[in-house]
Amino acid sequence: MAANRFNGYTDFGIGIGLRIPHYQHIFAEKPVVDWFEIISENYMVDGGRPLQVLDQILERYRVVQHGVAMYFGSAQPLNREHLRRLKLLARRTKTPWLSDHLCWGSVDGRYTHDLLPMPYTREAVAKTAANIRQVQDFIEIPVVVENVSSYAEFHESEMTEWEFLNEVVEAADCGILLDVNNIYVSSQNHGFDPLRYVDSVPADRVAQIHIAGHSKFEKYILDTHDHPVLEPVWGLYARAIERCGPTATLLEWDDNIPTFDEVHGEAMKAAKFLNSQGAQVLPQVNTKELQEIIQ
Ligand SMILES: [Fe+2]
C-alpha cells in the first residue's frame, strides 16, 4: 500500500496514554516508550503544572494529541476559541496527526461532555465532513476521526456505521483512528459482525489504532478502559493490522489504572501482530516481566 499523509507512520510502533498516576514513575525511571498519547484538553491551558509536565515529556518522547471535545458531528458551528488553543498546543507538541471522535455532544453552546452516537444519514455525513475539513484547514495537520462505541441507534439512519464512517472520511478527506475495542463493543450491543466492519474500512486512511479493555454485563457491554484487552478484541486488532500493515497502536487504560509497567506490558502484546506484518517493534525492556511477555 502506498504511503500517504495518513498511513505513513509505520515506525511509530506502540504508545500508551500519558496519565497522572504514572508521571512520577516516568520522570524517575525514564522508561523506553515509542510515544505517548495525550488528551489535548488537559493541556490547553495558559501555563502551570500541566504544561511543565508536558514540556518535560517532550524533551524525551514523541507525543500524539487525542481530543475529546471537538464534536465534529454537532450541528452548531465549531468553537473557534477551542480550535485556536488546540493549534497552539499542536505547535508545542509537534503532533504528527490530531485525532478526535466521530460523534456529537453539543447543542446551542451547551456541552454534554459525552461522545454521543451519530444518526447515519447523508445530511449528517455532509455536515460532519464540512466540520472536519474546516478543522483540517485551520490546524494544518492531518485530522483523523475515531469511531466511538455506542449503546443506542437512530431510526433515521440510512446506512450502517461503517458505511457512514467511509462516507465521512471520503467527503472530508481525513484519516481514521480505528478503535477495534469500540467496534467490538458496538457489535455486541447492536448485533453486527465486527469483522465485516474492520474489513470495510479504507485501510489507506488508518493512521492509528486504539485497543482497550471493556466490561461485559448481562444485556450489554460497556467501553470501560479499566482492564486488559480481551481476546476478541485482539482478534479484530490482528485483522486490522493484516489489512492496514504496521500502524501506530495505542492502548487506552483510563480507570483503575495499574502500575506503569503493567500498562506498558499489556500494550507491548501488540508487538507480535505488528512485527508479523513487517514492523520492527523492538523489545522495550523496562522490566524482566515485560521481556517475558513480548518474547
Ligand atoms: Fe478509543
pLDDT, one tens digit per residue, over 137-151 is 999 999 999 999 877
Task: Tell how far the Cα of 252 is from the centroid of ligand 1, in angstroms.
Answer: 7
Task: Tell how far the Cα of 177 is from the centroid of ligand 1, in angstroms.
Answer: 8
pLDDT > 70 fraction of the chain, expressed in percent and rounded: 93
Which three cell numbers mark 72? 465534529
Task: Tell how far the Cα of 148 is from the centroid of ligand 1, in angstroms.
Answer: 7
Task: Tell how far the Cα of 291 is from the centroid of ligand 1, in angstroms.
Answer: 26
Residue 129 neighbours by CB under 8 Å, 6+ apart:
167, 168, 171, 172
pLDDT of the residue at 103: 86
Q: How many C-alpha atoms does 215 have within 13 Å on its Cβ side?
A: 9
Q: Is 118 exposed, middle or buried (0-12, 13-18, 19+ CB in 10 A)?
A: buried
Which DSSP string corresponds to 208-249? Answer: EEEEE--EE-SS-EE----SPPPHHHHHHHHHHHHHH-S-EE
- The helix or strand, by DSSP H or E, that contains position 114, with its residue range, turns out to be strand 110-116
Is pLDDT above 60 for 289? Answer: no
Q: Percent helix, strand and coil across the chain, each rounded to 5?
A: 45, 20, 40
Condensed to tens digits (0 to 9), the pLDDT of residues 239-282 reads 999 999 999 999 999 888 999 999 999 999 999 999 988 888 87
pLDDT of the residue at 280: 80
Which three cell numbers mark 252? 487506552
- Looking at 107-121, 197-211, 245-259, 276-290, which range is the least confident one? 276-290
Condensed to tens digits (0 to 9), the pLDDT of residues 71-86 reads 898 888 889 999 999 9
Condensed to tens digits (0 to 9), the pLDDT of residues 56-72 reads 999 999 999 999 988 89
Task: Tell how far the Cα of 146 is from the centroid of ligand 1, in angstroms.
Answer: 7
Task: Tell how far the Cα of 181 is from the centroid of ligand 1, in angstroms.
Answer: 7
Per-chain residues with Cβ under 5 A from ion ligand 1: 179, 210
Euclidean distance between CA atoms 277 and 274, whole angstroms: 5
pLDDT of the residue at 290: 53
